[in-house]
Structure 1
Amino acid sequence: MPDHPFRHGLSATAIGVSCGIAASICWAIGFVAAKHGIAVGFAPADLAFHRFVWSGVLMLPLLARVGLSDLGGLGWVRGLVILVLAGPLQALLNYTGLTLAPLGHGAVIQPGSAALGGLLLAFLVLGEPLSRARLIGVGSIILGLTVLAGEAVLTIRGGALAGDLLFAAAGFAWAAFTLCLRGWRTSGMLAAQVVGVLSLLIYAPLYAGLVDFERLSATGLSENLIQVVAQGVFAGLLALYLFARAVTALGAGRASMFPALVPAMTILIGFLVLGEIPTLPQLAGLLIVGFGFRFALKP
């Protein structure tokens, strides 16, 4: 006897929601592990290596199946564009920001800037209208980011504001990347394969020529393995797979809400694992940006 369609729908929704939440946790783990890695002596370039090159090794057979010569039909020019926007360079912006500003800033500013940039680029490039709800979302996200930038200027000082700007640049790069995916009708899975393999071919040799192997070995095997798993597996392959499953089960519209969970998840995991207690301005910025996310995701 076939399953009742209503029961099947509930099952698909449950799977989609579970995968979406799990994907947001994986991304948050990557943020927290990066902050920990910097604290124990990793350079941003080391973290970018662990984030992309090992996953590139795993992605190579997958991309070979659909065609290495033309990068699975994407083409080399487009492949290099998404490598710049979503590859090691984008990660270096984010990781360098973590050397200058608190984890809570990166957890909110990078996703917030990605959402804000995505809305603005869709309006400017694709001509998508900005509804009243989305305008409220844009205003709220800008206000929340301003609260965090104000904290950096008034209380943290040092290079915190520069770190915030790097987080914002990483977020806008990701927004441009997603715009390219939409415009070129490219799946996220193919994009991940292309970024991983091109990182293996281009970034790995550059990194090998510049890396301080004494510094890298001084961090210890266990710390390197933590970054391989956290960056390459959780924040890379597993998060992408889970998010793709959520999109399949729920549709792109409903699945797009899950990245909005990343800031809260990151701050929570950062508190539990690293003992970083968010300040009141950071919590206020998180709440305001989260409010903006809710409106920004409406049609």
Structure 2
Amino acid sequence: MNTAGLAAALGAVAIYAGMFAAGRAGAWDGLNGYDQTAIRFAVTTVLVLPFLWAAIMPAVRRIGIGRLFALFVLNGAPYSAVFLGGLVFAPVAYGAALVPGLQPVAVMVVALLWRGQRPALPNVLGAAICLGGVLVMLLDRQVTGNSDLPIGIGLFLLASAMWGTYTVALKTWAIEPREALATNAPLSALLYLPVYLLWQGPEAVLAAPAPAVLLQAVYQGVLVGLVALILFTVAVKTAGSAAVAALAPAIPVLATLIGWAVLDERPNGSQWAGLAVVTTGLLVGTLWPMLKARQQAAVA
């Protein structure tokens, strides 16, 4: 991995890891998942439109309205509201373990049912280990002792399933990153913001402290909505998707450490154990295929 690719990949991983703490901080400031989603896509759309306006209609014609709507549901405003909503009810450690931890399982199941793609042994083993880590988290005594926590966990599970399905959809429909970036934010703003304003209204956003709203605008709207996607694309082009995927297992632990440092949400023993198992599963699912491919290339 060259220096530029490594820097871009590390930047994207760091932003995605910090997203959990940023969303949790917004919840503490009275901004629920709907509020944070509205801020995110309002800001991202304003940033994206001047640069990608010309790419929108060609993308719409190639992808089709039906598929665009599916992508909007799976990784647009609905996904954001579900994911950020989970952080209203559950600490960062749960989101950091459950959302990335179940994505390999979701991708494997959806790819099998949709594409008839049989998973390779490393994927099955990695997904099984991740499931074990998730089970450890779900058996934590805090889950049964907190009436709000199961709601957050349920939302995290749904978010993981949505993202996993989105991942398979991108590959199946051959969606280019530029097309996704050009259409996702504007479509989310067009379909979500009017419903949000009519159904809930911006009262919570207007009542929240200005620094809290600014944090969501900068982190969710600028960093997550735009910068991370650009960094991810640059990293994949310069270093390769396999090399970038190798850094993904760092997200659960890094996100939890950021939550601990910034929000003072210190995980207990069960949560650390679950995170360790999930991270191990992610490592098995990503590094084993890479090592095997290198060995085969060396032999050839």
Q: Does the alignment reach a TM-score above 0.5?
A: yes
Task: Using the TM superposition, give the Cα deviation of residue 124 of structure 1 relative to its aligned residue in structure 2, in angstroms.
Answer: 3.0
Q: How do residues 139-178 of structure 1 correspond to structure 2 at under 5 angstroms?
A: 139-151=128-140, 156-178=145-167
Equivalent in the alignment of 2:294 = none
Q: CA deviation at 1:152?
A: 5.6
Distance in 2 (CA, whole Å) between partners of 1:130 and 1:62 is 39
The answer for unaligned runs of 5 or more in structure 1 is: 1-11
Q: Does 1:108 align with 2:97?
A: yes
Q: Secondary structure at the match of 2:262?
A: helix
1:51 aligned partner, one-letter code: R
How many aligned positions are there? 288
Matching residue's letter, 2:99: Q
Q: Please tell me whether residue 119 in structure 1 is matched to residue 108 in structure 2.
A: yes
Kept after mapping to 2: 8 A contact 1:67/1:73: no
CA distance in 1, matches of 2:143, 2:211: 38
Q: Does 1:249 align with 2:238?
A: yes
1:49 Cα shift?
Answer: 1.0
Partner of residue 4, structure 1: none
- Distance of aligned partners of 1:152 and 1:161 in 2 relative to their CA distance in 1, 3 Å threshold: farther
Equivalent in the alignment of 1:230: 219
Query: What CA distance in whole angstroms lies between the structure 1 residues aligned with 2:60 and 2:17?
Result: 29
Q: Is the 8 A contact 2:56 2:182 kept in 1?
A: no
Unaligned runs of 5+ residues in structure 2 are 290-300
Deviation at 1:21, TM superposition (A): 1.4
Q: CA deviation at 1:155?
A: 5.3
Cα deviation for residue 223 of structure 1 reads 1.4
Cross-structure match for 2:206: 217
1:38 match = 27
- How far, CA to CA, are the matches of 1:126 and 1:165 in structure 2? 27
Please give the per-residue CA displacement for 1:23-67, whole angstroms capped at 9, x wherever unaligned. 011112221111001011112111111222211122223342124
Structure 1: which amino acid aligns with 2:182? Q
CA RMSD in angstroms, aligned pairs only = 1.8
Structure 1 segments of 4+ aligned residues over 6 angstroms from their partners: none
Offset from partner CA, 1:121-149 (integer Å, 9 cap, x none)? 22333333323222211110000011111
Whether the 8 Å contact between 1:57 and 1:196 is mirrored in structure 2 is no
Cα contact 1:133–1:295 (8 A) shared by 2 = yes
Match of 1:87 in 2: 76
Percent same amino acid at aligned positions? 28
Would you say the 8 A contact 1:101–1:163 is kept in 2? Answer: yes
Scaled by the length of structure 2, the TM-score of the pair is: 0.90
Match of 2:168 in 1: 179
Q: Are the counterparts in 2 of residues 152 and 160 from structure 1 also a CA contact under 8 Å?
A: no
Give the drift of 1:153.
6.2
Separation in 1, partners of 2:204, 2:104: 36
Partner Cα separation in structure 1 for residue 150 and residue 122 of structure 2: 29
The yes-or-no answer on 1:296 pairing with 2:285 is yes
Which stretch shows the higher mean deviation, 208-217 or 28-37?
208-217
Q: What do residues 129-187 of structure 1 show as CA deviations (whole Å, max 9, x unaligned)?
A: 32322221111000001111111665543131232121011011011111111011112
Judged with a 3 Å threshold, the aligned counterparts in structure 2 of structure 1 residues 48 and 125 are, in CA distance, closer, same or farther, namely: same
Q: Give the alignment partner of residue 197 of structure 2, picking from 204, 208, 226.
A: 208
- CA 1:173/1:246 → structure 2, altered by over 3 Å: closer, same or farther? same
